A and B are shown apart, each in its own frame.
Chain A
Amino acid sequence: MKFAYFHLMPYTESPEHTQDWPVPNKRFDPRTGEKLYNAYLDNMVYAEECGFDWVGCNEHHMSPFGMMSNPNLIGASLIQRTTRIKIAMVGNLIPLLNPLRVAEEYAMLDVLSGGRLVAGMFRGIPHEYVAYNMAPSESYGRLIEATQLIIKAWTEPEPFGWEGEYYQYRAVSIWPRPIQQPHPRIIMSGSSPRSAEIAGRFGAMFGIAQLKTFDDARNLIDIYRESAKAHGFDPKPEDVLVSLTLSLAEDADEAKETLTNGRRFFAEVLGGGLRTAQKLVLQKTRYYGDEMKGKFVDARKSAQISVDDLLDQGTILCGTPKMVVDQLKHVHAAMGHGVTNINMKVGNIPDETIYKGMDLFKDQVLPHVRDL
C-alpha cells in the first residue's frame, strides 16, 4: 500500500460563518496568509520524512476552503524541498484552464522534480465553475478533449495543430517535454459513473475523492475497471486511490474530539460560501446529469453525519494507532485499492496536533499497513 499526504491549505484565521459567494477577500490578511503558506509547506515537506509516498496539492478558488488557486506553484515549492516523494497534483481543474498551459506547467514540474509528478486531470467541484465563469454543462466535454490534447502535447515530437470542439491551436510544440515517458502517470477522480468511465477510457489512475459508502465506491471502481479493460488497459490495485480523513492520537476520545471540532469548522466556516455556489450549480444546471438531485441531497446529509456514524460506516480513520491500522485493513479489504490518500488537516485542527498524528502514523501505523 502506498500513502499520499493531502492538504487543502485552508485559511483558518477568519472564523466567521458565511453563506456568501464568493467569500469576500477582505477577510484575507496577506501577512497571515504568508505565515500559513509557510507553515503548510513545512508540514507537507514533513510528509516525506514520515514515509508518505506522495504529497498532494489541489486547486480551489475564491474561498477560505483552500488557498491553492494554482497548485502547481505549491508543487514547484515542494519540489525544491524534497527528494523522493512524488508530487501529486490532485489536481488541476482541467476544464477551467488553458490545456496547453497545464501541459507546460506539468512538464516543468516533472522535469524540475526529476520525474516525480503524478498528473491529475480533474473536473473539479461545482462551485469552481461559477468562479471561472465556465458552463458546467461543458465540464465533461472539456475534460475529455483537454486531457487528450495535453497528452498529445506531451508525446508529439513534431509541431502540430489542434482543431477541436472547445480548443483550437495551430502551432504546438511545448518546451520542456516531461521526463517520464511516454508521459507522467495520470490520475482522474470519479465521483460519478461518467467520471469513472472517462478515467478508464484514458487508462488513468482512478481516485475516489470522498468515500461515502463502500457500495458506492465499489460500484464506481467496477465501472472504471470495465471501461479501462474495454480500452485495452487492465488496472492493478496500485491504479486505484481511495481518499480518507485521518485523526490519530494516543487516546481515541481525543482523536474523535479533534476531528469533530475540525469538521464543524470545515462545515460552518470554510464550506459555507462554497455550498451556496454549489447549490446554484446543482439546482440550475445539469452538472451531474440525471444524478444531480441525489448528489445535492447527499452533500447536505454528509455535513450532518457524526464521526461515530462515519466510524460505523468504516469510511473514516480515527482513533489510536492500533484502531487506525484495523480501520485501514478493513477499508483495504473492501476496496482492494493500492493507494490511500490521507487528509489530516480538517478545518482548523491545529498543526501541532497534526504533527503528532503524523509521527504516530510513521512509527505505529505505517509499519503494519505498508505490505497490504
Chain B
Amino acid sequence: MTFQEKEAKLSAGAVKYFVGGDGPPVLYLHSGGGVRLASKPINDWAESFKIFMPVTPGFDGTPFLDGVDSMQGLADLAGEFIDTVIGGPCDVIGYSFGGWTAAWLAVLHGGKIGQMVLEGPAGFRPDGAVGLASDPAEFVKQMYAHPEKIPEDGKPEETVAHNRKAMGHYHDASPMDKALVARLGEIETLTLILHGTEDGAIPEESPRLLKSLIPRSFLVYVYDAAHVMEIDQPERVSLLVRDFLTRAEGFLVNWGDEAAGLDAAAATA
C-alpha cells in the first residue's frame, strides 16, 4: 500500500500526515514510536478503509506547535483534523500513546468519532506498576514477545530516542491520567480495547480499568503479543480490528463462512 505524505493547515499550525487506502475513513493515532508505514495491520486495513495518520507534533522530526502541550491539547488537534481533513465523523484507532490521545478525543469530542480501538493504551498504569526499563535489553523484552520480528529497516536510533522524549512534552510522566480516568464513564463511543498477553510495558490492570469504566467497551487479549502487538501478532491485530470496525457489536458473533460474503457485499455497497 502506498501512503501519500501531506500537510494539514490547522489553527495551531501545520500538521504532517499520511493517507492511503480506500473505504470509510479511519483516523490512526500512532504510538510513542511514531508513524510506522510498514505496519502490516495498517496496510491490511487500508484495503478496506481510508487511513489517515497524522504525525504528532514533535515526532519523527516535526516541530512542536505552540499551545499544543497536553494530552487534551492533542485531542483537540485530532478533533480539528477530523473536521478539516476528513470532513466528518470517522472511526479511530489509537495505539499506546495514541490510545491515550484517542481516549481524550472520545471524552472531549465524542460526536466526531464512530467506533474506537485502543491498542495497549498508555496513561492508565496503576501506581506502583513497573515502568519502562532504561536498560535496552529489558526494554525490548517489555515491548516485544517476538523481537526477531522487529523490522531491520526500522527508524534510526536517534529518531526513536527523540520520539520517546517527545512524549514528555504532552504529559508529566505520571503513569495514571487521573483526570481522564474520572471521565471515562462519559465515553459513549463503542470501544475495543486490545492488550497483549505478554505486554511488559502496560500491566493488565490498565485494560481492565478501561473495560470497567467505558460503558460500551470490549476487551480482547491478543495471545503471545507484548506491547508492540502490531509487530508481534500482525494477523491477529489486523483481523480483530477489521472485524470490529466492520461489524461493530456483531464482531462478537462467529459468522463463519457467511462473513466472507457479507464482506464482499459491504465492499461493493
Bind each other: yes
Chain A interfacial positions (CB closer than 8 Å to B): 145, 148-149, 152, 156-165, 167, 170-171
What's the least CB distance linking A140 to chain B, in Å?
A: 13
Instruction: Given A148-B197, A163-B239, A170-B251, answer yes or no on A156-B220 (Cβ-Cβ < 8 Å).
Output: no
> Which of B211, B221, B222 is packed against the most chain A CB atoms within 10 Å?
B221
Is B208 in contact with chain A by the CB < 8 A criterion? Answer: yes
Q: A145, A149, A157, A170: which contacts B220 (Cβ < 8 A)?
A: A170
Let me know if B219 and A152 touch, CB within 8 A: no
Let me know if A158 and B211 touch, CB within 8 A: yes
Complex CA–CA separation, A303 to B138 (angstroms): 50
Let me know if A161 and B220 touch, CB within 8 A: yes
Residue of A nearest to B251 (CB): A170
Q: A148, A149, A164, A171: which contacts B252 (Cβ < 8 A)?
A: A171
The count of A-to-B residue pairs whose CB atoms sit within 8 angstroms is: 52
Let me know if A163 and B208 touch, CB within 8 A: no
Let me know if B220 and A160 touch, CB within 8 A: yes
Is B84 in contact with chain A by the CB < 8 A criterion? Answer: no
Let me know if B223 and A161 touch, CB within 8 A: no
Q: A148, A157, A167: which contacts B208 (Cβ < 8 A)?
A: A157
Let me know if A163 and B211 touch, CB within 8 A: no
Is B224 in contact with chain A by the CB < 8 A criterion? Answer: yes
Q: B221, B223, B239, B251: which contacts A165 (Cβ < 8 A)?
A: B223
Closest 6 CB pairs of A and B: A161-B220, A164-B223, A158-B211, A170-B252, A163-B236, A160-B219
What's the least CB distance linking B219 to chain A, in Å?
A: 5
Let me know if B219 and A159 touch, CB within 8 A: yes
Instruction: Given A145-B223, A148-B223, answer yes or no on A161-B218 (Cβ-Cβ < 8 Å).
Output: yes
CB within 8 Å of A: which B73-111 residues: none
Residues in B whose Cβ lies below 8 Å from that of A145 = 223-224
Q: What are 17 sample pairs from A and B whose C-beta atoms fall under 8 A apart?
A: A145-B224, A148-B223, A152-B197, A158-B208, A158-B212, A159-B218, A160-B219, A160-B220, A162-B221, A162-B223, A163-B222, A163-B239, A165-B223, A170-B220, A170-B251, A170-B254, A171-B218
Chain B binding site: helix, strand, loop or mixed by DSSP? Answer: mixed
Residues in A whose Cβ lies below 8 Å from that of B218 = 159, 161, 170-171
Is B180 in contact with chain A by the CB < 8 A criterion? Answer: no
What's the least CB distance linking B116 to chain A, in Å?
A: 16
Complex CA–CA separation, A312 to B211 (angstroms): 60
What's the least CB distance linking B43 to chain A, in Å?
A: 19
Residues in A whose Cβ lies below 8 Å from that of B239 = 163
> Which of A161, A165, A167, A170 is packed against the most chain B CB atoms within 10 Å?
A161
Per-position 1/0 for B189-233, Cβ under 8 A of A: 000000001000000000010011000001111111000000001
Let me know if A161 and B208 touch, CB within 8 A: no
Residues in A whose Cβ lies below 8 Å from that of B181 = none
Let me know if B236 and A161 touch, CB within 8 A: no
Let me know if B220 and A159 touch, CB within 8 A: no
Complex CA–CA separation, A159 to B197 (angstroms): 15
Residue of B nearest to A157 (CB): B208
What's the least CB distance linking B11 to chain A, in Å?
A: 39
What's the least CB distance linking B241 to chain A, in Å?
A: 10
Is B248 in contact with chain A by the CB < 8 A criterion? Answer: no
Given A160-B219, A161-B219: 12 more A-B contacts, CB < 8 Å? A156-B208, A158-B208, A158-B219, A160-B211, A161-B240, A161-B252, A162-B221, A163-B223, A163-B233, A163-B236, A170-B253, A171-B218
Residues in A whose Cβ lies below 8 Å from that of B208 = 156-158
Complex CA–CA separation, A110 to B218 (angstroms): 28
Instruction: Given A158-B211, A158-B212, A159-B211, answer yes or no on A152-B252 (Cβ-Cβ < 8 Å).
Output: no
Complex CA–CA separation, A157 to B205 (angstroms): 11
Residue of B nearest to A161 (CB): B220
What's the least CB distance linking B227 to chain A, in Å?
A: 16
Per-position 1/0 for B232-257, Cβ under 8 A of A: 01001001100000000001111000
What's the least CB distance linking B245 to chain A, in Å?
A: 14
Instruction: Given A157-B208, A158-B208, A170-B220, answer yes or no on A163-B240 (Cβ-Cβ < 8 Å).
Output: yes
What's the least CB distance linking B93 to chain A, in Å?
A: 16
Complex CA–CA separation, A149 to B223 (angstroms): 9
Residue of B nearest to A156 (CB): B208
Residues in A whose Cβ lies below 8 Å from that of B211 = 158-160
What's the least CB distance linking A152 to chain B, in Å?
A: 7
Residues in A whose Cβ lies below 8 Å from that of B223 = 145, 148-149, 162-165, 167
Residue of B nearest to A141 (CB): B224
What's the least CB distance linking B237 to chain A, in Å?
A: 8
Complex CA–CA separation, A156 to B240 (angstroms): 20
What's the least CB distance linking B64 to chain A, in Å?
A: 37
Residue of B nearest to A152 (CB): B221
